[in-house]
């Protein structure tokens, strides 16, 4: 945790109350209502969730609300529904056929909108096309697309026919795509002829072609024409999306899915060298996102909601696609970069579409604040009524800027804490009720019992930092790690017997949660979750590298950035050129977001006598913190001094 973060928290102790008018119209209007409902939800979570689940449409009602199957939690067993039906047909049936579901804003600005009725037709057409290509219930479909409407359409089409989607962020490299396809054993890949970012074309199809050379499970590839760039189309394997759907029927019977059948896999970095496939299932995931979206974003029928996340991450899955659509909301989806063509793109999108609710990440807020107030001040932003943030701790300075310059001091800010594994938001203000403290994610959502534990498993005292855990299961939680149930048990439940989040946090005198950062080897770079082991193995795969260790260091905009210590193999010379080459190598193998900002060549790394690299010491060096503890137990204590002397500023 950067030291300036702690000091700024100490300085900022103002409390911001929800505007009276906001509270009066909100779904949850005050802390008393929150308190009563929260009490009910944790005293009898099964009754609470069962009552809420009646808001969805079921083919068959469940038999059991919750069952603990030897540490694997099952929700709504015996129940059958279809997620896509609940997100589209149910909304159309309720009279909203002509309500806008998506407003798609491409980088070019030439918008396209889809009503619920149109979206349903497009989804059905693609669902039928998938079936023709042999995709069946339980098959995995890999989706490697930019932020274009075909991405949610493909996801919903999978959900409709019972196929499992696995979306890979379009900014990932071919190596990252290959690893994910190999693990998920996908049968079909959906990609595009490229994507636009900052006006440039990123070659998705080329990446996909390279990846699938080593992915024998892929039988077919569907290619969306986005950029018009010429790409290879291999006969009898690759098909253009627009040609496939041309003749397809506009209706497709939704598959009746058991609550606990798989909905999607989403890979995320952990402490191991390989990303984990987090598995989410049908009913529990849908219910949790339906309800968290409704109450945390306080959604109303005429709201326009804009979430800047990429659908390649969990935020996009839960709060661009499933949560908003299940509520019949209107969602703005933006294709490109926040600064294209200029640093006011988000603010212009807000004005252009009269956005009422805006959800983004602290890293974007910091980056845009740095561009200056002149950009938002050129816009009105008067349509906004609620702001949100997610992905990493927000420093109070950024919070206050967001509150003043974007929210004009009239919009509550929901600082939402959650993870790929949790499926939806677990700790967050309810905007009409919760008094806000900048930098705090405030209080747990209904049904969520969060606690801070010490190393020995005892409960931490008030204001004492420790491990953030969730004590009881909730409907949106991960069900397992794809093909790896042992990792699920070990990583999330072994340490304390309750769900271990991997974050450190504290609870203050008012019961407010303050998330401090990760306790494991995951580095949050600009809100993206990067496994240090993945970056290290990419570095070590370079021919010149003998050994590598990466640690986070505080970064003004990204929150944390990556500092790499690299030991070269004998005969290799340190040079700027080699540094650049190593950075490019990581970008190629893991993805551009994992690029180290600093690379320090080292003779050796600090190690224990048993050969374990002491990251704690490297982290202190990278942070410029002299307090690196006892070095006497190192097999090579002298190296610390050398590393410090050669530190990259
Ligand atoms: O460290 C926490 C941080 O993001 C991690 C989860 O990352 P990921 O699975 O990529 O999901 C991000 C989007 C939900 C958490 O373990 N994190 C997320 N939200 C917050 C946060 N840290 C502090 N405050 C938040 N609001």
Contact 463, 506 (CB under 8 A): yes
- For the CA atoms of 312, 66, 449, 493, the dihedral, rounded to the nearest 10 degrees, stands at -70
Ligand 1 centroid–CA 392 distance in Å is 5
pLDDT in tens, 598-609: 999 999 999 988
Closest ligand 1 atom to 427 CA: 26
The dihedral over CA atoms of 425, 321, 559, 631, expressed in degrees to the nearest 10, equals: 60
The pair phi, psi for residue 453, each rounded to 5°, is -115, 155
Q: In the predicted model, is pLDDT for residue 5 greater than 70?
A: no
Percent of the chain residues past pLDDT 70, beyond the cut? 98
- pLDDT exceeds 50 at position 245: yes
Higher pLDDT, 615 or 77: 77
Distant-in-sequence, close-in-space partners of 110: CB < 8 Å, separation ≥ 6: none
Q: Residue whose CA is closest, atom 26 of ligand 1?
A: 417
Say how many Å lie between the CA of residue 311 and the centre of ligand 1.
Answer: 16
For ligand 1, pick from 360, 421, 515, 594 the residue to mutate: most ligand atoms within 8 Å of CB: 515
Confidence label for 12 from pLDDT (cuts 50, 70 and 90): low
Domain boundaries, the chain: 542-645
Residue with CA at minimum distance from ligand 1 atom 2? 392
Asked if pLDDT for residue 7 goes beyond 90, the answer is no
Residue positions counted in the chain: 649
pLDDT at 612: 85
**What is d(CA 138, CA 522) in angstroms, rounded to the nearest whole number?**
31
> Hey, is 457 helix, strand or coil?
coil
| 552 Cβ closer than 6 Å to some ligand 1 atom | no
The per-residue b/e assignment along 76-115, b for 16 or more CB within 10 angstroms, e otherwise, is bbebbbbbbbbbbbbbbeeebeebbbbbbbbbeeeeebbb
**According to the model, what pLDDT value does residue 633 have?**
82
What is the whole-number distance in angstroms between the Cα of residue 390 and the centre of ligand 1?
6
3-state class of 419 per DSSP?
A: coil
Distances (CA, A) of 633 to 135, 437, 602, 624, 626: 57, 42, 20, 21, 17
What is residue 593's three-state secondary structure? helix
Q: Which atom of ligand 1 is nearest to the CA of 501?
A: 16
| SS3 per-residue string spanning 270-304 | CCCCCCEEEEEECHHHHHHHHHHHHHHCCCCCCCE
Give the residue whose CA is nearest to atom 21 of ligand 1.
392
Angle between helices 31-43 and 45-53 (to 10 degrees): 110
Flag whether pLDDT at 9 surpasses 60.
no
Nearest CA to ligand 1 atom 18: 391
Q: Ligand 1 centre and the CA of 502: distance in Å?
A: 10
Q: Band the pLDDT of 551: cuts 50, 70, 90.
A: very high
Give the gyration radius of the chain's Cα atoms. 24
Give the mean model confidence (pLDDT) for residues 413-439. Answer: 98
When pLDDT is averaged across residues 273-285 and rounded to a whole number, the result is 94
CA 246 to ligand 1 centroid distance, Å: 41
Q: Over 60: is that where the pLDDT of 620 sits?
A: yes
Inter-residue contact 335 to 105 (CB < 8 Å): yes
Please indicate whether residue 418, judged by its CB atom, sits closer than 6 Å to ligand 1: yes
Is the distance from the beta carbon of residue 502 to the nearest atom of ligand 1 less than 6 Å? Answer: yes
Across 314-320, average pLDDT: 98
**pLDDT value, residue 137:** 98
**Pocket flag, ligand 1, residue 315 (CB < 6 Å):** yes
What mean pLDDT, rounded, does the chain reach? 95
Question: Is the Cβ atom of 434 under 6 angstroms away from ligand 1?
Answer: no
| 79 to 157, 257, 349, 509: CA distances (angstroms) | 21, 8, 41, 42
Contacts of 432 (CB under 8 A, 6+ apart): 18, 22, 23, 24, 25, 26, 27, 28, 29, 30, 298, 412
- Ranking 73-82, 150-159, 611-620 by mean pLDDT, the lowest is 611-620
For a substitution probing ligand 1, which of 308, 419, 512 has the most ligand atoms within 8 Å of its CB? 419
Ligand 1 atom at minimal distance to the Cα of residue 420:
9
491 CB within 6 A, ligand 1: no
**Ligand 1 atom at minimal distance to the Cα of residue 528:** 10
Mutate to test the pocket of ligand 1, among 315, 390, 438, 500 (most ligand atoms within 8 A of CB): 390
What per-residue confidence (pLDDT) applies to 625?
A: 84
Residue having the nearest C-alpha atom to atom 12 of ligand 1: 391
* Ligand 1 centroid distance, CA of 43 (Å): 27
Confidence of residue 8 (pLDDT cuts 50, 70, 90): very low
Average pLDDT over residues 388-415: 96
CA 538 / ligand 1 centre spacing (Å): 24
Q: What does each C-alpha distance from 91 to 86, 87, 476 come to in angstroms?
A: 7, 7, 22
> For residues 124 and 154, what is the distance between their CA atoms, to the nearest angstrom?
10
Distance (Å, whole) CA 18 – CA 336: 32
> Would you say the CB of residue 640 lies under 6 angstroms from ligand 1?
no
Supply the pLDDT for residue 1. Answer: 37
| Interval between CA 207 and ligand 1 midpoint (Å) | 28
529 lines ligand 1 (CB under 6 A): yes
Over residues 332-344, mean pLDDT: 95
In Å, what is the CA distance from 551 to each residue of 276, 391, 619, 626? Answer: 20, 19, 6, 16
pLDDT in tens, 280-298: 999 999 999 999 999 999 9
Of the listed ranges 177-181, 471-475, 613-617, the least confidently predicted one is 613-617
- Say how many C-beta atoms besides its own lie within 10 A of residue 59's C-beta: 14
Q: What pLDDT is recorded for position 326?
A: 98
Q: Per-residue pLDDT averaged across 437-443, rounded?
A: 96
422 lines ligand 1 (CB under 6 A): no
Q: Does residue 282 contact residue 296 with C-beta atoms inside 8 Å?
A: no
Other CB atoms within 10 Å distance of the CB of residue 342: 12
pLDDT at residue 176 is higher than 50 = yes
Say yes or no: CB of residue 310 within 6 Å of ligand 1.
Answer: no
Among 317, 392, 501, the mutation site with the greatest number of ligand 1 atoms within 8 A of its Cβ is: 392
Q: Is the distance from CB of 224 to CB of 148 less than 8 angstroms?
A: yes
Helices (H), 312-422: 314-316, 323-326, 345-353, 362-370, 374-377, 396-401
Domain covering 542-645 assigned CATH 3.50.50.60 in the classification: no
Q: Does residue 420 have its Cβ closer than 6 Å to ligand 1?
A: yes
Output the pLDDT for position 11.
Answer: 56
Q: Is the pLDDT of residue 624 over 90?
A: no
Supply the residue whose CA is at minimum distance from atom 7 of ligand 1: 419
- Structure confidence by residue, pLDDT tens digits, 208-229: 999 999 999 999 999 999 999 9
Buried b (16+ CB within 10 A) or exposed e, 549-561: bbbbbbbebbbbb
DSSP type of residue 406: I
Does residue 390 line the site of ligand 1, with CB under 6 A? yes
CA of 416 to the centre of ligand 1 (A): 8
CA 318 – CA 324 distance, rounded (Å): 8
Q: Each residue of 380-394: pLDDT tens digit?
A: 999 999 999 999 999
Upstream peptide bond of 341 is cis (omega within 30 degrees of 0):
yes
Task: Give, for 160, the enclosing helix (H) or strand (E).
Answer: helix 150-161
Cβ–ligand 1 distance for 41 under 6 Å, the answer no
Pocket test for ligand 1, best of 323, 418, 467, 558 (most atoms within 8 A of CB): 418
């Amino acid at each position: 945790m950067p030291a300036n973060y702690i000091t700024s928290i100490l300085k900022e102790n103002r409390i911001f109350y929800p505007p009276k008018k906001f509270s009066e119209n909100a779904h949850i209007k005050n802390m008393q209502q929150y308190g009563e409902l929260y009490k009910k939800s944790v005293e009898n979570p099964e009754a609470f969730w069962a009552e809420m689940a009646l808001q969805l449409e079921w083919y068959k009602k469940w038999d059991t609300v919750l069952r603990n199957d030897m540490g694997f939690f099952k929700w709504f067993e015996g129940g059958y529904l279809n997620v896509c039906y609940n997100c589209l047909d149910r909304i159309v049936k309720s009279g909203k056929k002509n309500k806008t579901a998506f407003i798609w804003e491409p980088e070019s600005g030439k918008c396209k909108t889809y009503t619920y009725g149109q979206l349903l037709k497009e989804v059905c057409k693609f669902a039928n096309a998938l079936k023709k290509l042999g995709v069946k219930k339980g098959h995995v479909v890999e989706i490697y697309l930019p932020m274009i409407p075909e991405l949610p359409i493909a996801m919903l089409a999978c959900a409709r026919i019972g196929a499992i989607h696995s979306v890979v962020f379009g900014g990932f490299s071919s190596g990252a795509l290959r690893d994910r396809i190999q693990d998920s054993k996908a049968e079909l890949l959906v990609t595009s002829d490229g994507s636009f970012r900052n006006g440039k074309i990123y070659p998705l199809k080329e990446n996909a072609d390279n990846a699938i050379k080593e992915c024998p499970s892929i039988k077919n590839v569907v290619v969306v024409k986005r950029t018009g760039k010429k790409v290879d189309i291999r006969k009898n394997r690759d098909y253009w999306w627009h040609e496939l759907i041309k003749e397809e029927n506009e209706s497709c019977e939704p598959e009746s899915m058991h609550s606990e059948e798989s909905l999607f896999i989403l890979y995320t970095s952990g402490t191991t060298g390989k990303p984990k496939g987090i598995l989410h299932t049908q009913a529990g995931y849908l219910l949790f996102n339906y309800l968290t979206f409704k109450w945390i974003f306080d959604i109303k029928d005429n709201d326009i909601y804009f979430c800047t996340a990429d659908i390649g991450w969990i935020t996009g899955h839960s709060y661009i696609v499933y949560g908003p659509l299940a509520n019949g909301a209107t969602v703005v989806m933006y294709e490109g970069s926040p600064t294209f063509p200029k640093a006011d793109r988000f603010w212009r999108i807000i004005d252009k579409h009269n956005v009422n609710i805006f959800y983004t990440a602290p890293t974007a807020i910091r980056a845009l604040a740095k561009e200056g107030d002149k950009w938002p001040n050129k816009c009105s932003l008067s349509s906004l009524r609620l702001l949100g943030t997610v992905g990493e701790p927000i420093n109070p300075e950024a919070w206050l800027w967001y509150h003043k310059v974007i929210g004009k001091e009239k919009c509550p800010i929901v600082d939402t804490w959650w993870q790929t594994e949790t499926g939806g938001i677990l700790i967050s203000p309810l905007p009409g009720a919760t008094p806000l403290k900048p930098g705090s994610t405030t209080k747990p959502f209904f049904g969520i019992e969060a606690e801070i534990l010490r190393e020995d498993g005892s409960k931490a005292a008030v204001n004492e930092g420790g491990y953030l855990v969730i004590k009881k299961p909730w409907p949106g939680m991960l069900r397992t790690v794809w093909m790896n149930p042992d990792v699920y048990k070990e990583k999330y439940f072994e340490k304390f017997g309750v769900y271990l989040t991997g974050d450190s946090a504290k609870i203050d005198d008012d019961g407010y949660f303050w998330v401090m950062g990760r306790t494991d080897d995951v580095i949050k770079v600009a809100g993206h979750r990067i496994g240090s082991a993945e970056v290290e193995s990419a570095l070590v795969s370079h021919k010149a590298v003998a050994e590598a260790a990466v640690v986070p260091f505080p970064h003004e905009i990204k929150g944390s950035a990556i500092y790499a210590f690299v030991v070269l193999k004998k005969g290799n010379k340190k040079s700027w050129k080699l540094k650049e080459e190593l950075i490019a190598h990581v970008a190629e193998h893991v993805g551009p977001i994992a690029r180290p900002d600093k690379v320090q060549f080292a003779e050796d790394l600090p190690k224990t006598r048993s050969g374990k690299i002491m990251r704690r010491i490297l982290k202190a060096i990278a942070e410029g913190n002299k307090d690196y503890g006892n070095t006497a137990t190192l097999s090579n204590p002298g190296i610390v001094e050398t590393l410090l002397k050669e530190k990259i500023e």
